[in-house]
Amino acid sequence: MAIQYQSLNFKGRKGMSAGQSREHQRAWSEKAWNMALAKGNFDRSREHLNFEIVDGKIQPIDKSKSIGQRLAENLAERGIRDPNANLAEPRYRTLGDFVFSGSHERMTELAFGTQPVVIKPGDNKENLTIHRNKEIEQWAMDIYNFVCGKYGKENVVSFYVHLDETTPHAHAAVVPVKDGKIDFKGVFVGKDKMEYSRHISALHDELAEVNKPWGLERGTSLTNKEARARQTLDYRRQLEHDTRQKEADLAEMDEQLSSTAQQLRMAETRVKGLTTMIENLEKKKSGLEKELAELRRKMNVSAGDRDALQKQIDEKVAAIAEIEASLADKNAKLDKAQEQLAEARAAKEEVYASQAVLQQEVSKLSDSVRSSSGTLIKEQMLNMVIGEFKRIREVLPPEQLAAFEGSYLEYLADRGNEMLHCGVLLFAQLVNDATTFAETHGGGGGGSDLKWGRDEDEDDRLWARRCVAMANRMMRPARHGRKR
């Protein structure tokens, strides 16, 4: 078996949205499940193998409360204020979302042993008889205890293990509490990017000790080629996963929109019906009042049998009183119905607005997926160009080869990996590490008098271009002797 590596991904979240919670818990409607099966890597026949760990005990996933509700209850019980409470849109990161996994071959072995498993999206009936191995539960418990030991058991809001996707993995949602309040930066990040980098590196080291008994090793530095390729693949998979989740959220939102539209129609019908009934009662009351006035006029002028007139007057008064009682009831109901109508309209507008925002997020994620795919293609094209240049260079006569002497293409072909390593260090703003690397690998042409650093408004593409140019300069041998 090839070397099997551990995997750890971390993302800061401003709470946990309903859509994200449904994805973690698989609390999907039929429509959302169909969307997930069509576009994702989910296998519904293995959903029953998923589990969660609560208070150190393994149990089926409880879908009765969302992660957001669990977070709110967790904080309320401890008297900790949620900085996003009462905000129209959450602004503060209040959760650390960890994903723990490893190489597909080893994680599948831990989960299913030697059982034949169909690993593909859909609802694969062949997997209905598959059982969950104890090893995956023991691995998950080790990871759970690691998270509890590092961040506090009371801060672990949820811990789910998914065995219904391509590679088994665990999700841990951790609220960063320090000194009795939420402090995302203090718990997860540190004072700056360099401290965060050291923190994440140490986290991988500590996790490797937990994973060692399970045959999972720590990955190598992301500055080497193999690790970079693995990170790029993982990044693309995460983008695709996020896109599928957002699309599932859109499917859920379509159902919400349909539901709110139905509620709006019902509210409009109720208001219209009550309004019509009130109008009819008002007309009937007006007619009775006219008849009552005529009867009283006749009574005053003694026009007719007074006893018969009095009886009719009493009947009209009773009928009018009955109508007035009915009007009071219908008007009260109308007020309530109009409130419900206003709420239904607001709810529909809110869903429309949320749907528009979500649609933009899906569009951006789709663009990112295409962009990351483009990056992979460009990297392979560059490798092909360099390889082609190396092959051609071997057969070029000296007079033609001289045209490439000292060129960027020649240098990239000879020392491209070293320059790339230096550029990655610069991009991470590890300037001292980049300088040391360059000096210990024959470089020294960068100069010590150059202003270096990333501008506040500089985008990633421009910053990467400057890092490549600086790496090229730093990796070139230092020039000695007097300048002319």
Give the mean pLDDT of the chain.
Answer: 82
pLDDT band at 370 (very low <50, low <70, confident <90, very high): low
Is 351 in the same domain as 460?
no
pLDDT for the residue numbered 88: 80
pLDDT for the residue numbered 374: 54
Domain assignment present for 372: no
pTM score over 0.85: no
pLDDT tens, position by position, 456-475: 777 777 888 888 888 888 88
Bridge partners, residue 98, by sequence = 10, 172
Domain assignment present for 432: yes
pLDDT band at 236 (very low <50, low <70, confident <90, very high): low
Is 424 in the same domain as 326?
no
pLDDT for the residue numbered 458: 75
- 401: CB partners within 8 A, 6+ apart: 393
pLDDT at residue 448 above 50? no
pLDDT at residue 223 above 50? no
pLDDT for the residue numbered 306: 84
At 297, which CATH number?
Answer: 1.10.287
Q: Mean pLDDT over residues 39-56, rounded?
A: 92
When mean pLDDT is compared across 12-21, 139-148, 279-288, 318-327, the lowest value belongs to 12-21
pLDDT for the residue numbered 350: 66
Structural domain count, the chain: 3
**Distance separating alpha carbons of residues 93 and 21, to the nearest angstrom:** 16
Domain assignment present for 246: no
Burial of 42 (0-12, 13-18, 19+ CB in 10 A): buried
pLDDT tens, position by position, 96-118: 999 999 888 999 999 999 999 99
pLDDT for the residue numbered 206: 95
When mean pLDDT is compared across 145-149, 198-202, 332-336, the lowest value belongs to 198-202
Domain containing 333: what range?
256-366
Is 30 in the same domain as 68?
yes
Q: Which of 261-270, 309-318, 472-481 has the highest mean pLDDT?
A: 309-318
Domain assignment present for 290: yes
pLDDT tens, position by position, 255-305: 667 777 787 888 889 899 999 999 999 999 999 999 989 888 888 887 778
**Distance separating alpha carbons of residues 245 and 242, to the nearest angstrom:** 5
End position of a domain, from candidates 351, 366, 381: 366
pLDDT for the residue numbered 1: 53
End position of a domain, from candidates 190, 219, 248: 219
pLDDT band at 481 (very low <50, low <70, confident <90, very high): very low
Domain assignment present for 224: no
pLDDT at residue 408 above 50? yes
Domain assignment present for 229: no
Domain assignment present for 374: no
Is 97 in the same domain as 162?
yes
How many CA atoms, within 13 angstroms, populate the side-chain half-sphere of residue 361?
A: 17
Domain assignment present for 320: yes
pLDDT for the residue numbered 380: 66
How many CA atoms, within 13 angstroms, populate the side-chain half-sphere of residue 384?
A: 6
